[in-house]
Structure 1
Amino acid sequence: MVLLSIVVPCFNEEESVEIFLKEIQETLKEHDYEILYINDGSSDNTLKKIKELADSNSNVKYISFSRNFGKESAIYAGLKNASGDLICVMDVDLQHPPSLLPEMIESVSSEDYDVVAARRVSRKGEPKIKSFFSHLFYKVFNRITNMDLAEGATDYRVMRKPVVDAILKMPEYNRFSKGLFHWVGFNTKWIPYENIERTVGETTWSFWGLVKYSIEGIVAFTTLPLSISIYLGTFISIVAFIYMIVIIIRYLLYSDPVQGFATIMCSILLLGGIQLLSVGVLGKYLEKTYIETKNRPIFIVKESNIDDI
């Protein structure tokens, strides 16, 4: 029987890890699987709970980081240490419904698909402003990156081993998994599902955290923002030149003296703002380049029950 490795990033999820395991056990009674919990530097009793589950379940593995490295690092660590022929990435809070797993496994095993992924078709239970910005992100991301990332795409997916191997060949430090999953290609089947609220606990993702994550994703897959300053500079230069001609003509024809302190100040502030924005965008890309050149490890393992890690 094909072994399924389920990669589960965890950060302060002591209430969820046991509930998640019970759901998987109930759903995958007829499948051979392992669960690989990645403790991402949790400050609560998440690691203790995971160890207890590992002691009583031989198919429960875990990796515990030395500190919080982030979900992207946890996903990478899980993919790197998964031993199954099929690899699944899931959230521990059960917002990724385990009930979809049998269909996903069947599709990737018997149909001509390398990846079967889930996408949310609704956002019920979420604040409207969060839904609006999520929709806006997908539109902007696809437009400026020339990619076709499915709206509502999640990290929840079952992949064949060659797909995971392709993803692991990109050991970049600044990771945006949704984009990487799409970038490597392969035949993908999408399974729609309705949004599900967390079973227990509260999300660790704040609104500004999601905004920052979105910016990281855009910077990781396009250099278009670097070109925006060129377009803005060209446009403003043309407008300024036309305005200069208008002032000269007015002065020659009507002897109209140069006026408009407010106009001058607005122009200075506008140009200053655009310059600072351009420098900020450039700095963001330099920051990413700087971090990549350090070649620091994506994660550091403090302890694990995997022998060859």
Structure 2
Amino acid sequence: MSKLSIVIPCYNEQESIPLFYPVVEKVVKKMPVKVEYWFVNDGSVDNTLKKLRKLHQEHPEEVHYISFSRNFGKESGLYAGLEATTGDYVVVMDVDLQDPPEYLPEMYQIILSGEYDCVGMRRTDRTGEAKFKSFLSDKFYDVINKISDTKIVNGARDYRMMTRQMVNAVLSLKEYNRFSKGIFNWVGFKTKYLPYKNVQRVAGTTDWSTWKLFKYAIEGITDFSEVPLSIATWVGGVSAFLSIVGLIFVIVRRLMEPSSSAFGWASMVCIMLLLGGLQLMCIGIVGKYIGKIYMQTKNRPIYIVKEKR
């Protein structure tokens, strides 16, 4: 009998955990697999860890958990969970049940056929989500797919089932700054996406604000594209060219009309502010990439475990 490992990152999910396990267990019991659960407590400040300890005590053979020493982020939680799994097939799911468990049997049958190495889920709508957040999400996929060689399917979730071979490939990437949606596609392997309609959280509130999603999007773009660096180079080049053209224009005008006065201090200030702003923007883009290199060269661990059962 094949073994299925389920990885569930958790951050302040004390309300969702007691609801998640019975719903998923009801589905996987109908599948011809042996199941292990790996919950990852990402430095929660509520009673998440207590709920996981209780669940482990009730089901010591199936339920396991990893608790971090502090909050390291969902990407670290995913990596830790994948690293702990021992199954032939691995599933990544959210604990809030926004990833419908009823698709697990279908995902398993598809991946068992041997035609695909991964079966992922893709949302076809964003019902219940703020329109502005949905707009930004759509634009993110448009931008990153235009400037990156690693294509990411619009609406694709982390919710997916993978073969052990693909999981090992993902784990072989030891980079400190991680963007799993891109990594899952970068490692290759044949993937099939199943469409589904958006599902609301079963309990609790999301920790992903619009600002956090925006920062996450920036991380994804800088992790899988060098285009921002090219943009900075072009902006600098164009600015320098325009400055030279402007300088030539001022000199020629002064020679042809000696009595003409300068354009005025206001125009000069605006030009200086424009050029200064462009320079700072370009330095910021370069600094973002240098910062990633700096963090990688430190060789800090992706996560630190405080408790594991």
Indicate the TM-score class for this superposition, using the shorter chain for normalisation: over 0.9
Q: Deviations over 1:166-201 (max 9, x none)?
A: 011111111110010010000000011111111110
The aligned amino acid for 1:301 is: V
Q: Deviations over 1:92-145 (max 9, x none)?
A: 001111111111111111140000001111111111100110011111111121
> Does structure 1 retain, via aligned residues, the 8 Å contact 2:11–2:43?
yes
Aligned counterparts of 2:129 and 2:266: Cα–Cα separation in 1:
44
Q: 1:154: how far off? A: 0.9
Q: Is 1:117 the counterpart of 2:120 in the alignment?
A: yes
Q: 1:280: how far off? A: 1.4
Deviates more, 1:142-151 or 1:89-98: 142-151
Q: Deviations over 1:42-80 (max 9, x none)?
A: 111111111111111121111111111111001000111
Matches within 5 A, 1:14-33: 14-31=14-31, 32-33=34-35
DSSP-derived class of the 1:302 partner: strand
RMSD: 1.3
> Does structure 1 retain, via aligned residues, the 8 Å contact 2:10–2:42?
yes
1:79 paired residue number: 82
DSSP-derived class of the 1:217 partner: helix
Q: 1:238: how far off? A: 2.0
1:62 paired residue number: 65
Q: 1:251: how far off? A: 3.2
2:305 paired residue number: 301
Query: Could you tell me which of 82, 99, 108 is aligned with 2:111?
Result: 108
1:286 paired residue number: 290
Query: Could you tell me which of 37, 50, 53 is aligned with 2:39?
Result: 37
Aligned counterparts of 1:301 and 1:248: Cα–Cα separation in 2:
66
> Does structure 1 retain, via aligned residues, the 8 Å contact 2:151–2:182?
no
Q: Is 1:216 the counterpart of 2:219 in the alignment?
A: yes
The aligned amino acid for 1:33 is: V
2:274 paired residue number: 270
The aligned amino acid for 2:298 is: K
Deviates more, 1:26-35 or 1:130-139: 26-35
Deviates more, 1:196-205 or 1:281-290: 281-290
Aligned counterparts of 1:147 and 1:81: Cα–Cα separation in 2:
27
The aligned amino acid for 1:205 is: W
Aligned counterparts of 2:280 and 2:251: Cα–Cα separation in 1:
30
> Does structure 1 retain, via aligned residues, the 8 Å contact 2:93–2:99?
yes
Aligned counterparts of 1:148 and 1:221: Cα–Cα separation in 2:
10
Query: Could you tell me which of 88, 94, 97 is aligned with 2:97?
Result: 94
Matches within 5 A, 1:127-276: 127-255=130-258, 256-276=260-280
The aligned amino acid for 1:23 is: V
Q: 1:158: how far off? A: 0.1
Aligned residue pair count: 305
Aligned counterparts of 1:111 and 1:80: Cα–Cα separation in 2:
23
1:4 paired residue number: 4
Aligned counterparts of 1:291 and 1:247: Cα–Cα separation in 2:
46
- In structure 1, stretches of 5+ residues that fail to align are none
Aligned counterparts of 2:50 and 2:236: Cα–Cα separation in 1:
56
Q: 1:290: how far off? A: 1.2
Q: Deviations over 1:194-228 (max 9, x none)?
A: 11111110001111111111111111112222222
* Aligned structure 1 segments of 4 or more residues deviating by more than 6 angstroms: none
**Percent of aligned pairs sharing the same letter:** 50
TM-score (norm 2): 0.95
TM-score (norm 1): 0.95
Q: 1:26: how far off? A: 1.4
